[in-house]
Amino acid sequence: MKVLFRRLSVPFCVFLILAPAAAFATNGYFLIGFGAKSRGMGGTGVAYGTDGLAAAANPATMTDVKMDTMRVDVGGEFFVPRRAASHNSALLPADEVSGSNLFLIPNMGGIYKFNRRMTIGMAAIGAGLGTRYQQVVPGTTGCINGDSSGVPAGVNNSYFFNFACNADSTTVGVSLMQMQMLPSAAYKINKQHSVGASLAIGVQQFRAYGLGAFESLGFAGSNSNVSGEGNDWSYGAGIRLGWLGKFFNQRLSLGANYASRVYMTRFKKYKNLFAEQGSFDIPEHFAFGLAFKATDAVTVAADVQHILYSSVRSVGNPGPTLDPSFFNPDQACKDALLATGNEPAECKLGGDKGLGFGWQDQWVYKLGVNYQYNSKWAFRAGYNYGKSPIDENSQLLFNLLAPATVEHHITLGASYAPNKNMEWSANFMHAFKNTLKGPTRFPPAGATAPVDNAAISMYQYSVGISFAYKM
């Protein structure tokens, strides 16, 4: 059995790592949940383990998954995020809809009941974001790398982030894929309490292109390792700890999960783009959940999660603000600029105080219901809400590239078990369109006061299916 599980998990995890990066952000750049069952219930799962990916929400819930000896879940999700950005600016105008709007997100997990008390397992989960926009000046043949010959005289030769034709590509975008493998173990202390732990093994892939003009704008501390360096990889590790408690004759379950920061190696190819010389750790987060068995057929689950985006400087450091004289709002950076006429390297892209996306910490609320119609069929529905981590009053400029705007999600799901060994599950998710509007550092022509001159928006659909085999 162990050999079978290893043979199944290794090639599929390799496939997960090599899968194309996608803009599959929903709660910031985290998925709302993992596996068809969880996603069908709004992403809940901290107190309600139902399949082979239970460890992704809380390793302790692996002891609660219904099976005799082993369960393996394999599935995929077709994801469609529609993103758009506009910037009414005298210097950097833009009005674009992102390309690359269909993605396949694979998922896999497996658990094995080692004995009556000990359960072990593995889950592979992902996160990420991505955009791709045209930055050819409308009505021209385009220009990059300082060559403005394709732009007629008298026409603004800047568009999106292609300032004065100094970008390195006619398209601009970023692509981030984060993958975590979670080898996990859970121990059932008694009938009421279980504890669990996971080792979080992180792998990241990142690429940026079309941002070469950041160098000429003076954003970066160096003229290299900012944009157009191809794919770069980083690796790291962290831990996860969980608890599950059963009360009121097993009808009420309470759970808690803590995921430490996953400390990643730096993106060396982009050391002058991200703060702390290319650092991009996976943020710490924690969650609490409950599941209540209202009847023998109906279970209601609810989770609350907190994601600490601001603790990762490359994400949480503010981007260009509305200050008319300074790009970096840090007072020490301003003082140095006044004293020397130039910001120190630590205040520019790649420095410890370098510009970021200005993301705030995010609270996420999840609610789901499962209706076990009979021994073969189950139906699910859910709702998920997380306020966008982007401050629309000051941080829209850089977030034209990372429009994590969606907040409200509704979900549906169902499972069919033709026999005791097999189960098919499907889920649907819709994230309602949300638009953030606000001012940027580069206003429209003639503006004498801050005006709402930028907007980013996104809405999403996804449909997933998975197959489970139980022994």
Cβ pair 127, 25 in contact under 8 A: yes
Expressed in angstroms, the distance from the first to the final Cα of the chain is 10
> How many angstroms separate the CA atoms of 88 and 98, rounded?
17
3-class SS of residue 223: coil
Among 18-27, 297-306, 425-434, 454-463, the least confident range: 18-27
Number of domains in the chain: 1
Residue 13 is predicted with a pLDDT of 45
337 burial (CB, 10 Å; 0-12 / 13-18 / 19+) is middle
The band of 454, judged by pLDDT with boundaries at 50, 70 and 90, is: very high
Length of the chain: 471
Q: Would you state the structure tokens that stand for residue 112, as one six-digit string? A: 């094995």
**Residue 95 reports pLDDT greater than 90:** yes
Cβ pair 451, 437 in contact under 8 A: no
Q: For 39-54, write each residue's pLDDT tens digit.
A: 999 999 999 999 999 9
Residue 139 is predicted with a pLDDT of 85
Comparing 154 with 31, which gets the higher pLDDT?
31
Q: What percent of the chain has pLDDT over 90?
A: 72
State the CATH number of the domain containing residue 15: 2.40.160.60
Which residues, 6+ apart, have CB-to-CB distance to 7 below 8 Å? none
3-class SS of residue 40: helix
Which domain range does residue 115 map to? 2-470
Distance of alpha carbon 214 from the chain centroid: 24
> How many angstroms separate the CA atoms of 255 and 252, rounded?
10
**Residue 209 reports pLDDT greater than 90:** yes
**Section 383-408 average pLDDT:** 94
Q: Would you state the structure tokens that stand for residue 122, as one six-digit string? A: 């593995």
> How many angstroms separate the CA atoms of 395 and 137, rounded?
24
**Residue 165 reports pLDDT greater than 80:** yes
**Residue 392 reports pLDDT greater than 60:** yes
Which residues, 6+ apart, have CB-to-CB distance to 287 below 8 Å? 46, 57, 58, 256, 257, 303, 304, 305, 306
Q: For 210-227, write each residue's pLDDT tens digit.
A: 999 988 777 887 888 999
Among 40-54, 362-376, 435-449, the least confident range: 435-449
C-alpha torsion angle, residues 26, 31, 36, 71 (rounded to 10): 180
The number of beta carbons lying within 10 Å of the beta carbon of residue 296 is 8
What are the φ and ψ backbone dihedral angles of 46, each rounded to 5 degrees? Answer: -65, -30
DSSP string covering 82-108: EEEEEE--SSS-EEEE-S---EEEEEE
Cβ pair 228, 212 in contact under 8 A: yes
Instruction: Write out the H or E segment, with its range, that includes residue 215.
Output: helix 213-216
**Residue 4 reports pLDDT greater than 70:** no
Residue 336 is predicted with a pLDDT of 82
Q: For 229-279, write each residue's pLDDT tens digit.
A: 999 999 999 999 999 999 999 999 999 999 999 999 999 999 999 999 999
C-alpha torsion angle, residues 333, 339, 341, 346 (rounded to 10): -30
**Section 114-127 average pLDDT:** 93
Rg (CA), the chain: 24
The band of 15, judged by pLDDT with boundaries at 50, 70 and 90, is: very low
> DSSP character for 347?
G
